[in-house]
């Protein structure tokens, strides 16, 4: 019976177990999301374990990155984080019990001898079987260094029932007698993961497909200890848009990079949920809908591709739906990271501008750029292109337009649009004859949203001031 069936009536416990050796990769973020969704879908618990046994690469800063990334993504974990390094005694105790049960043994092969033995074993058509499997140490080994290895069965196969990949078989002859404890007594990855998952009560191990081979090794330890196996679910890879491995050429790779590029956490959650899983043709859905719909059995086996265009589309949806005050704070933070302080009243200018331009922004960075014209200080430096536009005829028309705007009764988008059209009609020209020069006067370089939006965002006083500045500085 598949492990997922035997655990059907058990309270679900999932986990994410990143190593604190750098940033949180987007693959880890997707794994965390799927674990979180499944736990919440089943009314279970989602746990966090920091796999910090690699002390040479460990850093407290990287631990904080993990915490910050998960919090930014909105993936709340249950209980306190578990730190793997602190559980070394529990790992060693399990090895002691494995040795007592005949499932593990001392191996006195040196590193060089072990490598030679591996090569010889491969040539013979099987994985490493140390000569110390069935040899008792003598006096010569009394003070010799050794590792503790697991005694893999020589015959048969180890079968993994994977929720996503189905039945996966591993001939035992291809599974090496894996090291459980190194020469310095440090636990190895597969031992520590197995013991921690068991002790934490993890019922579903949901992780990337690169760990599928580890599932066989860990299953051997589970069975040797007479522990119930968790359900395994190995997620498909995430590839770049070109089908290649994710790299810098595809843009962001870590959660922090996506945040800095201006993606909203709810947008990234929505998009990542679609990488390998989906609910019909639904592209946009809430967290509540994702939790209600999500099931591991619906995750595909095929690798998913990170599509920047689709992600931008999803992000634009959430920007348009976001609270303007929140967007103002996010744009302020984006500008601060870029080293731009802005005028003293920058926040109020942004607050006025954002509602008028956010529909066209795919990221917070783009939103900041769209608001850039509103943050400039008078008098604006006019670009050569704008100066060239301001010939006598255009200057005269812009002067008359300034007078019409001064008389504008209501300073709001609809009314300003109507006023601009009425002025164009009175001049006997289309808005195309007015727009470029007016936009240039308001922005200095022509980079601004629609005319009524730019005027509304700037306000009456600032708009008229910029127009008069442009007329006086363009001669």
β-pairing, 204-208 vs 147-150, is unpaired
- Token readout for 446 is 């022509």
Helix (H, G, I), strand (E, B) or coil at 25: strand
Residue 344, exposed/middle/buried by CB under 10 A (0-12, 13-18, 19+)? exposed
β-pairing, 82-83 vs 45-50, is parallel
How far is CA 470 from each of CA 441, 462, 466, 475, rounded to the nearest angstrom?
A: 5, 12, 6, 9
Which uninterrupted H or E stretch holds 205? strand 204-208
Q: Which residues contact 34 (CB under 8 A, 6 or more apart)?
A: 206, 235, 273, 276, 277, 294, 296, 299
As a whole number of angstroms, the distance between CA 47 and CA 84 comes to: 13
CA 77 to the chain's CA centroid: 16
- Token readout for 315 is 């992000």
As a whole number of angstroms, the distance between CA 124 and CA 112 comes to: 19
Strand order in the sheet with 147-150: 104-107, 147-150, 179-181
Helix axes 460-473, 392-406, angle to 10 degrees: 160
Residue 460, exposed/middle/buried by CB under 10 A (0-12, 13-18, 19+)? middle
CA 342 to the chain's CA centroid: 30
As a whole number of angstroms, the distance between CA 193 and CA 54 comes to: 13
Among the listed residues 372, 336, 363, 328, the one whose alpha carbon sits nearest the alpha carbon of residue 251: 363
For 282-317, letters b (16+ CB in 10 Å) and e give eeebeeeebbebbebeebeeeebbbeeeebbebbbb
Catalytic residue among 71, 118, 248, 358: 248
Q: Is 118 a catalytic residue?
A: no
- Token readout for 440 is 């240039």
Cite the active site residues: 248
């Amino acid at each position: 019976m598949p492990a997922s069936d035997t655990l059907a009536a058990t309270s679900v416990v999932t986990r994410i177990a990143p190593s604190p050796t750098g940033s949180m990769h987007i693959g880890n973020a997707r794994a965390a999301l799927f674990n979180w969704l499944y736990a919440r879908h089943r009314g279970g618990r989602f746990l966090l374990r920091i796999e910090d046994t690699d002390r040479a690469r460990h850093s407290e800063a990287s631990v904080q990155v993990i915490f910050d990334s998960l919090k930014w993504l909105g993936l709340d974990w249950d209980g306190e984080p578990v730190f793997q390094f602190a559980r070394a005694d529990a790992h060693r105790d399990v090895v002691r019990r494995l040795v007592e049960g005949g499932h593990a043994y001392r191996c006195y092969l040196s590193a060089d001898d072990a490598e030679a033995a591996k090569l010889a074993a491969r040539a013979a058509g099987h994985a490493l079987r140390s000569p110390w499997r069935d040899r008792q140490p003598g006096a010569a080994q009394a003070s010799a260094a050794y590792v503790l290895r697991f005694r893999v069965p020589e015959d048969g196969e180890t079968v993994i029932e994977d929720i996503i990949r189905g039945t996966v078989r591993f001939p035992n002859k291809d599974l090496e007698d894996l090291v459980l404890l190194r020469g310095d007594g440090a636990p190895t990855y597969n031992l520590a993961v197995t013991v921690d998952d068991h002790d934490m009560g993890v019922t579903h191990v949901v992780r990337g497909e690169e760990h599928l081979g580890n599932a066989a090794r860990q299953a051997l330890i589970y069975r040797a200890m007479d522990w119930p196996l968790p359900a395994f679910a190995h997620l498909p890879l995430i590839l770049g848009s070109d089908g290649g491995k994710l790299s810098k050429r595809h843009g962001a790779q870590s959660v922090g990079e996506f945040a800095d590029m201006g993606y909203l956490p709810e947008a990234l959650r929505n998009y990542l949920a679609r990488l390998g899983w989906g609910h019909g043709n639904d592209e946009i859905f809430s967290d509540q809908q994702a939790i209600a719909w999500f099931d591991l059995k619906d995750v595909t086996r095929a690798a998913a591709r990170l599509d920047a265009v689709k992600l931008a589309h999803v992000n634009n949806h959430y920007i348009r739906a976001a609270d303007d005050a929140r967007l103002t704070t996010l744009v302020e933070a984006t500008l601060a990271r870029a080293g731009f302080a802005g005028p003293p009243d920058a926040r109020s200018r942004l607050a006025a501008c954002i509602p008028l331009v956010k529909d066209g922004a795919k990221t917070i960075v783009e939103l900041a750029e769209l608001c850039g014209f509103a943050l400039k200080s008078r008098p604006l430096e006019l670009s050569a292109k704008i100066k060239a536009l301001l010939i006598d005829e255009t200057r005269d028309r812009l002067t008359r337009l300034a007078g019409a705007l001064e008389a504008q009764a209501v300073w709001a988008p609809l009314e300003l649009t109507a006023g601009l059209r009425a002025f164009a009609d009175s001049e006997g020209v289309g808005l195309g004859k007015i727009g470029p020069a007016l936009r240039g006067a308001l922005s200095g370089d022509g980079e601004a949203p629609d005319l009524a939006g730019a005027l509304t965002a700037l306000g009456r006083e600032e708009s008229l001031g910029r127009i008069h500045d442009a007329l006086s500085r363009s001669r």
